[in-house]
């Protein structure tokens, strides 16, 4: 595959935080790194925070926005053993995703099955690894247990509910509005709660006959923290990946004590390449067949050209989307 001397990417204007299309020299991959000719990149809320200077990139990461991509392997480093030029992959990247070429260590990539469009696969890596790490590794969801996903219409939420159903768990999810709720029902969710019209505490308790949810996967935070505690089952596990309603809340810890609850939280980006590689391998082992046969699929809301990254981020900030918003990085 012929490599150009330069690549296009999105940069942030430090003065007004606007996004613009930029160009830089393209370096060949070294060692265990692969160079991906990017078909599409996923938009994540972390990108919006990084753009505003609120979520700085790690010292060893690319300063370019973007945490997940899909595309074709364009070149490989001298120590690469897992991939060949031309392979279809999606990858969790250490920054650099808003670009038409991106470099990442080989074991951060997942194979894209033939039944999934290459561009759509950009909606998989961040969601798969985040859901796997938090719902299955940290919260230890078991078959037959009940999972409550707060924010089921998000890219991560729409993947998490599919994974949990494949795990033979009962799944409850919240969303805002009839259309989003119907789409979650179409994904097989057992109980969908419209948080604009219904009280999710009451609905969860009614559905579980007063028992509560065994695992709660939350990206809302704020006033939901206490509500999650209220509707968690005895020995329940609550895991947060974001706090969109705020990091500060007044909490009554009596129920945490009486129910023997576990409160957890995590972010994915600061974790080591080795740790992320373990997650990617586990996902391939447990869900590779489901991906291969179409039982687990990325849910794509919309696609924007790379040069319209600002519009794509605005769409995410408005919160009307269902599933992933992507950037098309090659014409």
In the chain the domains, ranked by start, together with CATH numbers, are 6-124+289-328 (3.90.180.10), 127-265 (3.40.50.720)
Sign of dihedral through CA atoms 128, 86, 289, 282?
negative
3-class secondary-structure state, position 276:
helix
Q: Return the ∠ at Cα 322 (arms to 320 and 323), rounded to 5°.
A: 135
Q: In this structure, is the dihedral angle defined by the CA atoms of residues 126, 132, 133 and 135, taken in order, positive or negative? A: positive
Q: What one-character-per-residue DSSP string does 10-50 give?
A: EEE-TTT--EEEEEEEPPPP-TTEEEEEEEEEE--HHHHHH
How many residues can be counted in the chain?
331
Question: In the prediction, which pLDDT does 331 show?
Answer: 64
pTM value surpassing 0.85: yes
Question: What does the DSSP assignment read for 101-164?
Answer: EEEEEGGGEEEPPTTS-TTGGGGSHHHHHHHIIIIIIIS---TT-EEEEETTTBHHHHHHHHHH
Question: What six digits make up the tokens of 109?
Answer: 């990539």
pLDDT tens for the 331 residues of the chain, in order: 789 999 999 999 999 999 999 999 999 999 999 999 999 999 999 999 999 999 888 889 999 999 999 999 999 999 999 999 999 999 999 999 999 999 999 999 999 999 999 999 999 999 999 999 999 999 999 999 999 999 999 999 999 999 999 999 999 999 999 999 999 999 999 999 999 999 999 999 999 999 999 999 999 999 999 999 999 999 999 999 999 999 999 999 999 999 999 999 999 999 999 999 999 999 999 999 999 999 999 999 999 999 999 999 999 999 999 999 999 998 6
């Amino acid at each position: 595959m012929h490599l150009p001397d330069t690549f296009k990417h999105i940069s942030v204007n430090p003065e007004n935080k606007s996004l613009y299309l930029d160009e830089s020299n393209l370096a060949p991959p070294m060692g265990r790194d692969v160079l991906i000719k990017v078909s599409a990149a996923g938009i994540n809320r972390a990108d919006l925070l990084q753009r505003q200077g609120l979520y700085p990139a790690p010292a060893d990461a690319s300063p370019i926005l973007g945490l997940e991509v899909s595309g074709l392997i364009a070149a490989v480093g001298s120590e690469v053993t897992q991939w060949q030029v031309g392979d279809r992959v999606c990858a969790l990247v250490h920054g650099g995703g808003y670009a038409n070429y991106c470099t990442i260590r080989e074991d951060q990539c997942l194979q894209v099955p033939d039944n999934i469009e290459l561009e759509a696969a950009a909606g998989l890596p961040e969601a798969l690894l985040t859901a796997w790490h938090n719902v299955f590794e940290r919260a230890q969801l078991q078959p037959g247990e009940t999972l409550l996903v707060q924010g089921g219409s998000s890219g991560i939420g729409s993947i998490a509910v599919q994974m949990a159903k494949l795990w033979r768990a009962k799944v409850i999810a919240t969303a805002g509005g009839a259309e989003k709720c119907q789409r979650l029902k179409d994904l097989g969710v057992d109980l969908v709660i419209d948080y604009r019209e219904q009280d999710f505490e009451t609905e969860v308790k009614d559905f579980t006959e007063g028992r509560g949810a065994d695992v709660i996967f939350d990206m809302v935070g704020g006033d939901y923290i206490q509500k999650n505690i209220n509707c968690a089952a005895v020995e329940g596990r609550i895991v947060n990946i974001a706090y969109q309603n705020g990091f500060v809340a007044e909490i009554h810890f009596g129920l945490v004590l009486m129910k023997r609850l576990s409160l957890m939280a995590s972010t994915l980006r600061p974790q080591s390449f080795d740790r992320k590689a373990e997650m990617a391998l586990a996902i391939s082992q447990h869900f590779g067949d489901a991906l291969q046969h179409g039982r687990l699929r990325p849910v794509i809301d919309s696609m924007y050209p790379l040069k319209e990254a600002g519009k794509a981020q605005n769409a995410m900030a408005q919160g009307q989307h269902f599933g992933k918003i992507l950037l098309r990085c090659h014409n």
